Structure 1
Amino acid sequence: MQLSSLVARLPYPSKAVQRALAIAAIVTQGGIGVTGSVVRVTGSGLGCPTWPQCFEGSMFPVSHPEYETLTQWIEFGNRLLTGVVGIVAALCVLAAWRIQLDHPERKRLVKLAWTMPGGVVAQAVIGGMTVLTGLLWWTVAIHFLASTVLVWLATLLLHAFNEGDERPRWRVAESGKALLVTLVAAMAGVLVAGTTVTGAGPHGGDPDTPRLQAPIETLTFVHGSLLAVYLIVLAVLGLQWLRAGAPKQLWRRYTVVWVVALAQGALGSVQYALGVPEALVSFHVLGSAAVIVTTAALWCAARDRGPVTSFSPAPAEASPAGSR
């Protein structure tokens, strides 16, 4: 109760602040995945060989004959970025909580906001497990997939700040909703399959890390096939909406999904053809975050939760926060 009183003393977040915090959450949650890929392709995954300390007895990189200074700082920098992600996540919670004090109906907004710091804690634990197990490929995969979930949730949070709290009414037919669910499932399959390709590929985060013992050609074929499924479902969805007459907002977001997905597919093909160069790996990880954000935005645009009521504080006489 006392904590709520402290939050009530904070300035009410404006529309611009709400939007900025949610976008920052998307950028930081996606960015940590990109910097993680930089750690992997530079072989810096064990630059800090212990966790949560960098070296036994030190939170920071130290001169060591077995570990290059650059790889230490690349890994340590990725750990430091987790702090930035945590700060943004905490600010999202404070903003959502402050809004709910004036608008008690905004429970879903607060729940979504809490997934951000919850995800940071989960990622810290998974990251520790990844280091302590010597970067086993499946732990790295879990680490990346957790980031993808958080990028999705951060995108939902951005939309939650900009929509009401009514029960969602779908702007598409039931068959369109089913296709959207299938699209999201196909995207999840593409992401999971991508981690197996990475697990068998040349960039394990450390030269001595054991790799997934499976034919990379087969894994790449499965990964590419699932992307084809994603694109086929997207095409069928468009045909269905063309017949039913979908709103303009849906078409705009639908077009963006196509552009991003095709660009990501082309990048993946070039990356494979060139022998998986380091720089393209990180761009591909960035592209995967873009696919998640655009797909989540399409999902959100397909349903209506009514007008937003919390861009402004409640009147002083009606506001629980104002009475404190």
Structure 2
Amino acid sequence: MGPVPNVTRADVAQAARNPLAFIAERWTPTQRTVQRAAFISLAMTVVIVVTGGAVRLTGSGLGCPTWPKCTEDSLTATSEMGFHGVVEFGNRMLTYVLCAAVGWAIIAARSQKPMRRSLTRLGWAQFWLVMGNAVLGGIVVLVGLNPYTVAAHFLLSSALIAVAAVMWQRSREGDAEPRPLVGKAVAQLVWFLVAASGLLIAVGTVVTGAGPHAGDSSDVPRMNLDPVGLDWEGVTKLHAVLAWIVVTLAFALWFVLKAVDAPRGPLARTRDLFLILLAQGAIGYVQYFTDLPEILVGLHMFGSCLVWIAVLRVLLSLRERPHPATELPAQADDSQLSAV
């Protein structure tokens, strides 16, 4: 049996007062550990978005009809609630898994030496976005799956994905001043691409909110587009036009990067984005012409997450932040060596 650690009363008080600092004093994660923690946090964010879509597509949106409890008398789903209760309650439980992943990312970032405050702040930003989205998810249930609150729930998840993607990228680079790898005109083109992609996702939530998959039953109201003179077909076509704009911008960016002989990083990220966009577009057209089967709608939601991550990776690839050079011990000159 190994020796018992000598834990003093001061250690207990410090751990209670500031547990993150207590852990950081006693553990230094490797760079790879921090990167993995950031990636797991990003992956779990995508998982909970996709499973949230599965809740809606299986009609389980009100499987737990109240919040924060599943029923007025039970915190968990009961056997009487059946399949829909299990699906909805399971998605709620995944929020705790996501919180654990984000917490692990915060601890790893805080414990890195030297401490990187910018990375830790990104972790805390994820935490508060998760908390805000959990509350908004409860509001979605309490208002009977109002499509506007459902759209806001997805958009806040997109913001969470953005922060998680930035943290993952920042965990793989240093804290030096960013050095641009492309010219200002190319960077402006990428910002147009980011803005168009954000608008594409926002309009996609309107397509969902006006479409047939209400999340529970046909009694759930859908978005009323009459005041702006749009029906579901019209807003779907607008979504398709925006998708083609994003594809065109991605192709134009790749062409410009080739023309200016840009580094491999931006070129590779733009190529990846273009391929993801083509796959996402194919799924979108197939689901439109096949009356929106649930499995394809779910794949399209997953694809929208990948598109958003790929767009952000293109943006972040336009600059580099090298790690600080490790100082090597000064080598002795020949006279010193001969004197030894």
TM-score with structure 1 length normalisation? 0.90
Q: Which amino acid aligns with 2:251?
A: A
Look up the match of 2:223.
212
Aligned to 1:51: 67
SS in 2 for 1:49: coil
Matches within 5 A, 1:1-324: 2-3=17-18, 4-64=20-80, 68-99=81-112, 102-104=113-115, 106-207=116-217, 208-214=219-225, 215-307=231-323
Where 1:53 maps in the other structure, the secondary structure is coil
Contact 2:258 2:267 in 1 (8 A): no
Give yes or no for contact 1:40–1:205 (8 Å, CA) kept in 2: yes
Distance 1:285 1:82 in 2: 18
Moved more, 158-167 or 265-274: 158-167
Query: How many angstroms does 1:305 deviate by?
Result: 1.6
Contact 2:176–2:324 (CA under 8 A) maintained in structure 1: no
Q: Rg larger in 1 or in 2? A: 2
1:163-210, CA deviations, whole angstroms, 9 ceiling, x for partnerless residues? 111222221110111111111101101100101110111111110210
Question: Aligned residue pairs: how many?
Answer: 304
Q: Is the 8 A contact 1:170 1:177 kept in 2?
A: no
The 3 A distance-change label for structure 1 pair 10 and 54 is farther
Q: CA deviation at 1:239?
A: 2.4
Per the alignment, residue 318 of structure 1 pairs with none
Q: Return the offset for 1:114.
A: 1.0
Q: Any conservation in 1 of the 2:269–2:313 contact (CA below 8 Å)?
A: yes
Question: Aligned equivalents of 1:29 and 1:5: distance in 2?
Answer: 26
The CA distance in 2 between the partners of 1:238 and 1:170, in whole Å, is 17
Change (3 A) 1:197 1:10: farther
Tell me the amino acid that sits aligned with residue 216 of structure 2: D
In the TM superposition, what is the alpha-carbon distance from 1:8 to its structure 2 partner? 2.1
CA 1:234/1:126 → structure 2, altered by over 3 Å: closer, same or farther?
same
- After TM superposition, the score normalised by the length of structure 2 is 0.86
Superposition RMSD in Å: 1.6
CA shift, 1:246, in A, is 0.6
Amino acid of the structure 1 residue aligned with 2:203? A
CA distance in 2, matches of 1:83, 1:229: 38
CA distance in 2, matches of 1:253, 1:30: 19
8 Å CA contact 2:253–2:270 kept in 1: the answer is no
Unaligned runs of at least 5 residues, structure 2: 1-13, 226-230, 327-340
SS at match of 2:40: helix
Write the deviation string for residues 267-317 of structure 1: whole angstroms up to 9, x where unpaired: 01101110000111111111011111211111111111222679xxxxxxx
1:57 to partner: Cα distance: 2.4
Deviation at 1:235, TM superposition (A): 2.0
- Displacement of 1:10 in angstroms is 4.3
d(CA) in 2 for partners of 1:108, 1:180: 24
Distance 1:89 1:308 in 2: 27
Distance 1:180 1:96 in 2: 29
* Cα distance in 1 between the residues matched to 2:241 and 2:21: 54
- List structure 1 segments (4+ residues) > 4 angstroms apart after TM superposition: none
Which residue identity lines up with residue 43 of structure 2 in the other structure? V
Q: Is the 8 A contact 2:28 2:111 kept in 1?
A: yes
Question: Percent identity of the aligned residues?
Answer: 36
User: Residue 20 and residue 309 in structure 1: after superposition, are their counterparts in 2 closer, same or farther (change >3 A)?
Assistant: farther
- CA shift, 1:247, in A, is 0.4
Q: Distance in 1 between matches of 2:286 and 2:136?
A: 31
Q: Which has the higher contact order (CA 8 A, sep 6+)?
A: 1
Letter in 2 for 1:176: V
The answer (yes or no) to whether the contact 2:76–2:89 under 8 Å persists in 1 is: yes
Structure 1: stretches of 5+ with no match in the other structure: 311-324
SS in 2 for 1:154: helix
**Which AA in structure 1 matches 2:172?**
N
| Per-residue deviation, 1:82 | 0.4
CA displacement 1:92-119 (0-9 Å, x = unmatched): 11111111xx314x22111111122111
Measure the CA separation in 2 of the matches of 1:94 and 1:278.
Answer: 38
Structure 1 residue 63, shift from structure 2 partner: 4.3
